[in-house]
Protein backbone atom coordinates (compact mmCIF):
# COMPACT_ATOMS: atom_id res chain seq x y z
CA UNK A 1 0.00 0.00 0.00
CA UNK A 2 2.62 2.47 -1.07
CA UNK A 3 1.93 6.18 -1.61
CA UNK A 4 -1.59 6.16 -0.15
CA UNK A 5 -2.67 8.31 2.78
CA UNK A 6 -4.06 6.10 5.54
CA UNK A 7 -6.46 8.82 6.72
CA UNK A 8 -7.79 10.55 3.59
CA UNK A 9 -7.13 7.83 1.00
CA UNK A 10 -5.24 10.24 -1.26
CA UNK A 11 -3.10 8.44 -3.82
CA UNK A 12 -1.08 9.04 -6.97
CA UNK A 13 -2.94 10.83 -9.76
CA UNK A 14 -2.05 10.75 -13.44
CA UNK A 15 -1.88 13.69 -15.81
CA UNK A 16 0.12 15.22 -18.64
CA UNK A 17 3.29 17.25 -19.02
CA UNK A 18 2.44 19.87 -21.64
CA UNK A 19 5.27 21.54 -23.57
CA UNK A 20 5.11 24.90 -25.34
CA UNK A 21 4.45 22.99 -28.55
CA UNK A 22 1.49 21.32 -26.78
CA UNK A 23 3.18 17.90 -26.83
CA UNK A 24 1.69 15.77 -24.11
CA UNK A 25 3.53 13.07 -22.15
CA UNK A 26 2.16 11.19 -19.18
CA UNK A 27 3.28 12.09 -15.67
CA UNK A 28 2.31 11.39 -12.06
CA UNK A 29 1.20 13.72 -9.28
CA UNK A 30 2.27 12.34 -5.90
CA UNK A 31 0.53 13.22 -2.63
CA UNK A 32 2.70 14.89 0.01
CA UNK A 33 2.97 11.91 2.37
CA UNK A 34 4.82 11.93 5.67
CA UNK A 35 5.41 9.16 8.17
CA UNK A 36 4.20 10.46 11.55
CA UNK A 37 3.65 9.01 15.02
CA UNK A 38 0.46 9.89 16.88
CA UNK A 39 -0.54 9.17 20.48
CA UNK A 40 -4.06 7.84 20.96
CA UNK A 41 -5.03 8.48 24.61
CA UNK A 42 -8.18 6.30 24.50
CA UNK A 43 -6.12 3.23 23.58
CA UNK A 44 -3.01 4.45 25.50
CA UNK A 45 -0.67 3.68 22.61
CA UNK A 46 1.38 5.27 19.84
CA UNK A 47 0.60 4.54 16.18
CA UNK A 48 2.68 5.34 13.11
CA UNK A 49 0.69 6.46 10.10
CA UNK A 50 1.63 7.45 6.57
CA UNK A 51 -0.48 10.58 6.13
CA UNK A 52 -0.77 13.52 3.76
CA UNK A 53 0.19 16.91 5.16
CA UNK A 54 -3.40 18.06 4.74
CA UNK A 55 -4.44 15.21 7.05
CA UNK A 56 -1.85 16.32 9.62
CA UNK A 57 -3.44 19.79 9.59
CA UNK A 58 -6.88 18.23 10.10
CA UNK A 59 -5.57 16.10 12.99
CA UNK A 60 -4.08 19.22 14.62
CA UNK A 61 -7.43 20.99 14.26
CA UNK A 62 -9.98 18.38 15.41
CA UNK A 63 -7.86 15.70 17.07
CA UNK A 64 -6.60 12.23 16.20
CA UNK A 65 -9.57 10.43 17.78
CA UNK A 66 -12.17 12.23 15.66
CA UNK A 67 -10.12 11.81 12.49
CA UNK A 68 -9.57 8.08 13.07
CA UNK A 69 -13.28 7.60 13.78
CA UNK A 70 -14.18 9.30 10.49
CA UNK A 71 -11.49 7.39 8.55
CA UNK A 72 -12.67 4.04 9.96
CA UNK A 73 -16.21 4.89 8.86
CA UNK A 74 -14.93 5.58 5.32
CA UNK A 75 -12.75 2.44 5.35
CA UNK A 76 -9.47 4.28 4.73
CA UNK A 77 -7.34 3.47 7.77
CA UNK A 78 -5.43 0.35 8.73
CA UNK A 79 -5.31 1.18 12.46
Residue 76's pLDDT is 77
Residue 31 inside a domain? The answer is: yes
State phi, psi for 61 to the nearest 5 degrees.
-80, -50
Nearest to 37 by CA among 20, 25, 50: 50
User: What mean pLDDT value characterizes the chain?
Assistant: 93
Q: What number of other Cβ atoms are within 10 A of residue 10's Cβ?
A: 19
The structural domain count of the chain equals 1
Residue 1's pLDDT is 58
Span 2-12, mean pLDDT?
A: 93
- Which residues span the domain enclosing 53? 13-74
Residue 2 inside a domain? The answer is: no
- Strand (E) or helix (H) holding 39: strand 33-40
Residue 4 inside a domain? The answer is: no
Q: What percent of the chain has pLDDT above 90?
A: 81
Residue 70 inside a domain? The answer is: yes
pLDDT bucket at 75, cuts 50 / 70 / 90: confident
Query: What's 17's domain CATH number?
Result: 2.30.170.40
Residue 43 inside a domain? The answer is: yes
- Strand (E) or helix (H) holding 54: helix 53-62
Model confidence pLDDT, tens digit, residues 29-50: 999 999 999 999 999 999 999 9
Amino acid sequence: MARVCQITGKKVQVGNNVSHAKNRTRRKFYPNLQKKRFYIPEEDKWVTLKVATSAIRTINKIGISAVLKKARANGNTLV
